[in-house]
C-alpha cells in the first residue's frame, strides 16, 4: 500500500529547497515529490500539517554496546532511542566486547540489527585487532562483510606507521578512517579540560593539545598517504583551524562535532561540581572553543553533527568522579539541541543543520540511496516541528546519563519513517513503537 505525506515543508539541502510539497512512497522508495498529490486508490496518509520533513537523520557515531554491555544498551533499545530522535540510520562503533574486528563480529551486528533493530544499523570495524593499536585488521574482509568505516574509537591509533597503513588501505577500499584524537600520554589520568576549572576543583585536566597533536599528525599522514580521514568529536578551536587549513590544501579530510560541545562548557562543572553526566571525552572545553565550533558549523568547516551516544548505567555513573566512565547519551537530544541553540540562538539556517545530519554523512560514507529526498531514493524520512517545546525527561534508551534532563527544548520529532514504514509516531505517546506496527493493518 502506498503512503502519502501531505502538507509538509520539504527541506532538501542538496537542492537548496525549503518548500511545501507532498511525498508519495511505495515499496520502501520515494516515487513522487510535488505539490498537491491526489490519489484515488487505497493508501495510508500522514497529514504533516505544516511540519517539516527531511531525509531521515544519520548519526555517524553511536555506541550500541552490544555485544558485551547489554545492561547499558542493546541494538533494539538503541535503535528505539534513535528512531525517537529522528534517526533512520546509525553507525555503531566497534568498542564492543568482543570488538568488531573480524567478519563474524560484523555479521553478528548485521543479523541482530535485521532481527531486532527498528532502523538501519551500519557497523564500523576496528582499525587494529582488539583495538590494541598493534596489528591491522583484515580491512578488505571487513569491507566485504559490510562495514562503512574503520576506527579504534575510544582509543586513538597512536602508532604513526600503523595509522599511515590504515589510511593507505582506506584509499584502496574507499573506506574512511574515523580517528579518536587523543594523545594518551598527555591525557592520562585527566577527567575534565585542563584549565581554570580543573584547578578550582582540584582535579587532573586533559589539555587541548592532547587532541590537537593527533589532529595535526593525522592531517600530515592523510596528505602523505592520500587516504580518507575523518576526525570525530572535535572539541578545540585550534583543531578546527588545523582542519580548515587542511581543507584549503585539498587534503581528503572531514570532521564532526557533538551537540554537547556546541552547548556546554567546562563552566557547567562549577554549577554542578563532580556531576558525572558532565564527564565526557573529549571533555567540555572553554566558551572560546564552543563559539569556534559553532562558527565552523556556519562556514562548513564541520561536515557532520554526531551524538557520540555513550550509554552507561546509573550504578556506573554514580561512582566518584575520577572513577566514573566518560560519556553521555545523545540520540534523543541531538536534534532539539541543534534547533534550540544553533537555529534559534545562533541563527544557523535550518537547511545547514539538516545538511550535516543527512546529505553530508551519506555522501562521506557512501551510503547508497540515503540522505536525500529524491525520487528513487529509500523512503527514510523524518517529520518534525521546530516550534514545539518539550521538557527532556524520559528516554527510550536503556540508560539515562544525560546532563540535559529538565531542560526545555524546541524541535520535536513527530514521525520517523524507515524504508517506507513508520517506526516512530509521537502522536501516540503511550506506545509510539507498538502502534506503528498497526499502521499498515488499517487499525490506526
Residue 338 DSSP code: I
Q: Name the band, by pLDDT with cuts 50, 70 and 90, for residue 444.
A: very low
Average pLDDT over residues 199-206: 97
CB count in 10 Å sphere of residue 250: 8
pLDDT in tens, 2-46: 999 999 999 999 999 999 999 999 999 999 999 999 988 888 999
> Rounded to two decimals, what is the model's pTM?
0.96
Determine the pLDDT at residue 441.
Answer: 41
Higher pLDDT, 433 or 292: 292
pLDDT over 50 (residue 435): no
308 catalytically annotated: yes
pLDDT over 50 (residue 211): yes
The number of residues making up the chain comes to 444
Average pLDDT over residues 81-97: 98
Which of 147, 169, 167, 155 has the alpha carbon at shortest distance from 92?
Answer: 147
Question: Looking at the DSSP assignment, which residues form a beta bridge with residue 338?
Answer: none
Please enumerate in sequence order all residues whose Cβ is within 8 A of that of 18, keeping only pairs 6 or more positions apart, or say none: 9, 10, 11, 12, 350, 351
Q: Go through the domains of the chain in sequence order and give each one's CATH number.
A: 2-53+377-393+407-441 (2.30.40.10), 56-364 (3.20.20.140)
CA distances from 21 to 39, 296, 345, 358, 420 (A): 15, 31, 28, 19, 17
pLDDT over 60 (residue 72): yes
Determine the pLDDT at residue 430.
Answer: 78
Mean of all residue pLDDT scores within the chain: 95
Distance (Å, rounded) from C-alpha 426 to C-alpha 433? 9
CA dihedral 285, 288, 291, 295 (to 10 degrees): -110
pLDDT in tens, 347-360: 999 999 999 999 99
User: Could you identify the residue written with the cell 584502496?
Assistant: 172
Catalytic residue selected from 152, 308, 378, 380: 308
- Comparing 33-47, 240-254, 272-286, 314-328, the range with the smallest average pLDDT is 33-47
Question: Looking at the DSSP assignment, which residues form a beta bridge with residue 92?
Answer: 62, 123
Determine the pLDDT at residue 40.
Answer: 84
pLDDT over 70 (residue 436): no
Amino acid at each position: 500500500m502506498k503512503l502519502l505525506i501531505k502538507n509538509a515543508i520539504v527541506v532538501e539541502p542538496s537542492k537548496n529547497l525549503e518548500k511545501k510539497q507532498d511525498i508519495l512512497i511505495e515499496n520502501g522508495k520515494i516515487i513522487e515529490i510535488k505539490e498537491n498529490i491526489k490519489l484515488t486508490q487505497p493508501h495510508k496518509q500522514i497529514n504533516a500539517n505544516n511540519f517539516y520533513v527531511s531525509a531521515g537523520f544519520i548519526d555517524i557515531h553511536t555506541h550500541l554496546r552490544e555485544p558485551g554491555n547489554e545492561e547499558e544498551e542493546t541494538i533494539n533499545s538503541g535503535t528505539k532511542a534513535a528512531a525517537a530522535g529522528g534517526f533512520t540510520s546509525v553507525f555503531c562503533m566497534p568498542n564492543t566486547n568482543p570488538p568488531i574486528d573480524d567478519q563474524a563480529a560484523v555479521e553478528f551486528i548485521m543479523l541482530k540489527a535485521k532481527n531486532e533493530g527498528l532502523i538501519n544499523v551500519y557497523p564500523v570495524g576496528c582499525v587494529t585487532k582488539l583495538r590494541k593499536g598493534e596489528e591491522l585488521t583484515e580491512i578488505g574482509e571487513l569491507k566485504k562483510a559490510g562495514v562503512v568505516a574503520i576506527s579504534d574509537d575510544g582509543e586513538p591509533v597512536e602508532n604513526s606507521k600503523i595509522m599511515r597503513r590504515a589510511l593507505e588501505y582506506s584509499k584502496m577500499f574507499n573506506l574512511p578512517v574515523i580517528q579518536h584524537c587523543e594523545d594518551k600520554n598527555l591525557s592520562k589520568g585527566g577527567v575534565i579540560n585542563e584549565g581554570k576549572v580543573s584547578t578550582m576543583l582540584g582535579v587532573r585536566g586533559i589539555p587541548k593539545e592532547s587532541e590537537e597533536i593527533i589532529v595535526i599528525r593525522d592531517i600530515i599522514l592523510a596528505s602523505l598517504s592520500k587516504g580518507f580521514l575523518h576526525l570525530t568529536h572535535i572539541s578545540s578551536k585550534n583543531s578546527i583551524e588545523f582542519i580548515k587549513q587542511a581543507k584549503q590544501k585539498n587534503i581528503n579530510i572531514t570532521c564532526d562535532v557533538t551537540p554537547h560541545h556546541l552547548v556546554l562548557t567546562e563552566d557547567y562543572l562549577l554549577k554542578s561540581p563532580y556531576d558525572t553526566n558532565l564527564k565526557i571525552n573529549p571533555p567540555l572545553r572553554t566558551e572560546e572553543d564552543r563559539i569556534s565550533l559553532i562558527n565552523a558549523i556556519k562556514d562548513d568547516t564541520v561536515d557532520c553533527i554526531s551524538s557520540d551516544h555513550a550509554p552507561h548505567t546509573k550504578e556506573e555513573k554514580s561512582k566518584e568522579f575520577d572513577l566514573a566512565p566518560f560519556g553521555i547519551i545523545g540520540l534523543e537530544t541531538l536534534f532539539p539541541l541543534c534547533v534550540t541553540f544553533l537555529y534559534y540562538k545562533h541563527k544557523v539556517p535550518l537547511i545547514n543543520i539538516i545538511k550535516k545530519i543527512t546529505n553530508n554523512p551519506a555522501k562521506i560514507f557512501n551510503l547508497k540511496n540515503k540522505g536525500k529526498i529524491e525520487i528513487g531514493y529509500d523512503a527514510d524520512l523524518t517529520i518534525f516541528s521546530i516550534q514545539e517545546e518539550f521538557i527532556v525527561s524520559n528516554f527510550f534508551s536503556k540508560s539515562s546519563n544525560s546532563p540535559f534532563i529538565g531542560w526545555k527544548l524546541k524541535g520535536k520529532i513527530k514521525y520517523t519513517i524507515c524504508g517506507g514504514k513508520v517506526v516512530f509516531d509521537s502522536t501516540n505517546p503511550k506506545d509510539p513503537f507498538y502502534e506503528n506496527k498497526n499502521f499498515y493493518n488499517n487499525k490506526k
